[in-house]
Amino acid sequence: MTTATKLDVVQLVRQPISVSRLVRYVRASTDGAVIAFDGCVRDNSNGRRTLYLEYEAYESMALAKMREIVADMHKKFEIGRVAMVHRLGRLDIGEASVMIVVGAPHRAAAFDAGRYAIDTLKKTVPIWKKEFFEDGAVWSEGEQPPMPGETAVSVKRASNPR
Amino acid sequence: MRVKVLFFGRLREVAGKSEEMIDVPQGALIEQLFKLCAARKPELTAFRPSLVASRNLEFASWNTALHPDDEVAFLPPVSGG
C-alpha cells in the first residue's frame, strides 16, 4: 500500500477546521504557490432549504484511502506538503466539511493536485452525508466507488431503491 | 469461521445496527456473506445493486473469498467532500 509522506497531514476531525493553520503548516520556503480548497456546507439542495448536515465515515478505511490519494498526488504532481482534513458529525451552513491545502514550487501543479485530490476523495473515500431539511432528512445520492479492476471513473447507478 | 460485518449510512439505518459478527462456511465469498445478512434482514436485498464491498479496508469484488476474522463492509454510494 502506498503512503503519504511524513510531512503531510491527513485527518478526520469533529471540530471546526482552521484553514489559516493548515496553510501556515503547508507553506514551505521552496513553495511559490499554496492553494486551499474549502468544501463548505451550502444552504440548499436543488433549491430545498438545508438546515444542517451530518457526516459519518468508515474511519479506518477513510484515512487509508485519503493517505493513498495524497501519495498519488506526490507521484503525479510536482508538489510539496499536502493537508487533507475532513470533518465528521453535525455541520451547520457555511462550515467547512473538507479542506485540502497543497503547496508547490509553481501554481499549476498546486491547482492540478488540489483538483485531483477533491475529485478522487468524492469518488473513493468512504464518507457519507445526510442532509436535514425542515420536513425530513435524506442520505445524499453519492457516487459508487470503482470496484477492483474498474477504472476510477464515476459510475452513477441507482443508489436509493426507495 | 467468524467475520465482522460493518454497516454505514443508509445501510446502517436499514440494518438497525453498525456491526455484526457472522458465522460463514470456510471459503465463503463476500456475495454469500451479503446473502446471509439479507436473510436476517430482507430489507437489505434491494440495496445490493448500489453497494460496493470492502475487505480489511480495501475495496473487494463480490467473489472475494473470506478468511477468519476478516472485516467486511457493504458500502453505499459515498458522498464525502
| pLDDT single digits (tens) B42-76 | 999 999 999 999 999 999 999 999 999 999 999 99
Digit-coded pLDDT (tens) for B11-34: 999 999 999 999 999 999 999 999
| Assigned domain for A77 exists | yes
- Do residues B52 and B31 touch, judged by C-beta distance below 8 A? no
Domain B2-75 has CATH 3.10.20.30: yes
Confidence of residue A119 (pLDDT cuts 50, 70, 90): very high
Cα–Cα distance, A131 to A142 (Å, whole number): 12
A69 min Cα distance to partner chain B (Å): 14
Give the HSE-up count for residue A80: Cα atoms under 13 Å, Cβ half-sphere: 18
Task: Tell me what pLDDT residue A147 has.
Answer: 83
Question: Residue for cell digits 445524499?
Answer: A140
Cell 456491526, residue?
B19
- Whether the per-residue pLDDT at A161 is higher than 90: the answer is no
In a domain, A152, yes or no: no
Q: How confident is the model at residue A151 (pLDDT cuts 50, 70, 90)?
A: low
- What domain range includes position A120? 9-137
Strands (E) in chain B, as ranges, are: 2-7, 19-23, 52-55, 58-60, 71-75
Contacts of A117 (CB under 8 A, 6+ apart): A37, A69, A70, A73, A82, A84, A100, A102
Chain A contact set for B79 (CB, 8 A): 122, 127-129, 139-143
Residue A146: inside a domain: no
Number of A to B CB contacts under 8 A, please give it.
100
Residues 110 through 139 of chain A touching chain B, CB cutoff 8 Å: 118, 121-130, 139
**What residues of B are in contact with residue A146 (Cβ under 8 Å)?**
59
Closest chain B residue to A157, measured at CA:
B50
Residues of chain B in contact with residue A118, where contact means CB-CB under 8 angstroms, are: 81
CATH number, position A86: 3.90.1170.40
Mean pLDDT over the full length of chain B: 97
Chain B residues whose beta carbon lies within 8 Å of the beta carbon of residue A144: 50, 52, 77-78
Question: Letter for the amino acid at B19?
Answer: E
Can you tell me the ipTM of this complex? 0.96
Higher pLDDT, A148 or A41: A41
Q: Convert the pLDDT of each residue in A25-84 to its tens digit.
A: 999 999 999 999 999 999 999 999 999 999 999 999 999 999 999 999 999 999 999 999
Which conformational region is residue A46 in: left (phi greater than 0), alpha (psi within -120 to 50 degrees), or beta?
left
- Candidate from A123, A128, A148 with C-beta closest to B9: A128
Please give the model's pTM, rounded to 2 decimal places. 0.92
Q: Which residues of B touch A (CB under 8 A)?
A: 6, 8-10, 46-47, 49-50, 52, 54, 57-61, 73, 75-81
Looking at the structure of chain A, the number of domains it has is 1
Does residue A95 lie in a domain region? yes
Tell me which residue in A129, A139, A147 faces B80 most closely, judged by beta carbons.
A129
The answer to the question of residue A21 being in a domain is yes
- Which residue among A127, A139, A157 places its CB closest to the CB of B49? A157
Q: Does position A154 have pLDDT exceeding 60, yes or no?
A: no
Is the pLDDT at A162 greater than 90, yes or no? no
Percent of chain A with pLDDT strictly greater than 90: 85
Residue A6 has what pLDDT?
82
Kindly state whether residue A47 falls inside one of the protein's structural domains. yes
- Give the pLDDT score at A160: 43
Domain boundaries, chain B: 2-75
**Cβ of A64 under 8 Å from any chain B Cβ?**
yes
